[in-house]
Amino acid sequence: MRYIIVLVLIFITYSLNAEEWEDQRIFSSGSTNQTLRILSSTDTSFFEPILKSYLVDNPATKIEYLVTGTASLDKIFRNTPEKYDLVISSAMDLQLKLVNDGFAIKIQDSNHPSWAKWRKSLFAFTIEPAAIVINKRAFANQKIPQSRQDLIKALRSRSKFFQNRLGTYDVRKSGLGYLFATQDARTSETYWRLMEVMGGLGTQLYCCSGDMIDDLISGKIAVAYNVLSSYAGARKKVSDEIEIILPADFPTTMMRTAMVSKLAPNVENAKNFMLHLLKTQLKPADKNNYTLPPLLLKPGQQTIILEPALMTYLDKLKRQTFIKEWERAIIQ
């Protein structure tokens, strides 16, 4: 009997705390009366400087920063939009669909470039290309591939070496991975050839960029495809084991986006935070202080466009078809 009660208690506490956060941190500067809840897919370390700089100007605010994967973030927010003030995610398609479905409020801002916002509700604040990241030692004395074709050639020529030493996103689990994959596939057939080659060699599937980079540094894998260059860049500062390659044929470039929930408990505060975030990212006062890449387009650089078409691959049928094809290629 006692045993059952304990079991029930465990179950209750588990379901009360149903969301399993990758990270959950509270930032505050002492006396506080308002808690801003930010639901984010971005690692806390990247966001910390901005959160802290906001608290300097708004000492009465406490920020609860909750990190989870893009796909689960979407699910959590759709279920309880009234619990969160801001939603920040790298999965542009999921974010755009949230706005299209009416989850966000409009924010008047005059400065933000029109290509970096949608319906005055969804605001992009970084520019981050997807990269091929390699372990340097694996390519010692080898030509370093500069494009997807190069990579395919390199993999084919040393197929023994790369066997089971490749990694990419599991697009079934990661929203960002799915976005990168679908945009790649939309742009070029090369994507499918690469996936087939990678599938043939046995590829590890990851939920997140961080894990992939960990395995790259440890040498468990030699090549990771479609890793967030910003994360890799941050790690490169610490470890010199890896090399980041932006594919020369076409770099798929993502923008991290933020929106304020229509049911946000602290709308005004959330709006303020949004404006602070956009201002900081548009004109970073001191680049070294901020770990997030700024919203600056290099000449000729193109990003995934914020448009309703982003919802195309979120369509149930399209997703089924795409996943089926992807599985056929990568899991052989």
Partner 1 sequence: MTNTVRISGSLRNRLMITLISGSAILGIILFFIVRGYATQIAQDGQDNILKASLSSILDAATIQDGLVEVDFPYASLSMLDTDLDDRVFYAIYQDGILLSGYKGLPAPSSLTGETRTFQTIKYKGTFARVANANRILVGERGRIEISVSVAQTQDDLSRTLNSISKNVAVFGAGFFILVAALSYLATSTTINPLMRLAASIKKRGPKDLSPFEKEIPSEMVPLVSSLNRLMGRLDLSLKQSEDFIAEAAHRVRTPLATVRSYADATLQRVSKSENREALRSMVRAIDEASRAASQLLDHAMITFRTDHLQKEYIDLIDLVQDLALRLSPIAEMKDVKILVNHKNPVEIHGDFILIQNAIRNLIDNALKYSPNEAIIKISVGSEPTPYLKIHDEGPGFPPDDIQNLTLRFTRGKNANGIIGSGLGLTIAKDVANAHNGRLEIFNHKKGGACAILSF
Among 23, 211, 249, 307, binds partner 1 (CB under 8 A): 307
β-pair type (122-124, 117-118): antiparallel
**Does the footprint of partner 1 cover residue 23 (CB under 8 A)?**
no
Distance CA 226, CA 330 (A): 14
Rg (CA), the chain: 21
Contacts with partner 1, 88-107, as mask; x by CB under 8 A: ------------xxx-----
Min dist. Cβ of residue 93 to partner 1 (A):
11
C-alpha–C-alpha distance, residues 159 and 162, integer Å: 5
* Nearest Cα to Cα of residue 121 among 134, 133, 112: 112
263 binds partner 1 (CB under 8 A): no
290: its two tokens: 């901020």
Nearer CB in complex with partner 1: 58/257: 257
Question: How big is the site for partner 1, counted in residues (CB under 8 A)?
Answer: 18
Do 100 and 91 meet the contact criterion of CB atoms below 8 Å apart? no
3-state secondary structure (DSSP) of residue 323: helix
Tell me: does residue 119 bind partner 1 (CB under 8 A).
yes
Report the residue from 12, 24, 315, 331 that binds partner 1 according to the rule CB under 8 A: 315
Residue 101 or 211 having the CB closest to partner 1: 101
Taking CB under 8 A as the rule, does residue 188 contact partner 1? Answer: no
Of 164 and 187, the one with the shorter C-beta distance to partner 1 is 187
Which listed residue (24, 80, 302, 321) binds partner 1 by CB under 8 A?
321
Q: Kindly give the residue spans of alpha helices, DSSP state H, lying in the chain.
A: 2-16, 44-57, 70-79, 92-100, 148-157, 159-162, 175-187, 190-201, 209-218, 229-236, 267-282, 316-330
Residues 6+ apart with CB under 8 A from 126: 230, 255, 256, 281, 292, 293, 294, 295
Output phi, psi for 134, to 5 deg: -125, 155
Question: With respect to partner 1, which residue has the nearer C-beta, 119 or 143?
Answer: 119
What is the phi/psi pair of residue 278, to 5°? -65, -40
Quick check: 328 binds partner 1 (CB under 8 A)? no
Residue 9 C-beta: closest distance to partner 1, Å: 38
The answer to whether 191 and 184 are in contact (CB under 8 A) is yes
Site for partner 1 contains 211 (CB under 8 A): no
Residue span 128-167 as binding mask against partner 1, x where in contact by CB under 8 A, dash where not:
----------------------------------------
Any contact of residue 308 with partner 1 (CB under 8 A)?
A: yes
The residue range among 31-39, 131-139, 208-216, 304-312 that interacts with partner 1, by the rule CB under 8 A, is: 304-312
78 lies in the binding site for partner 1 (CB under 8 A): no
Q: Which residues bind partner 1 (CB under 8 A)?
A: 100-102, 118-120, 186, 305, 307-309, 311-312, 315-318, 321
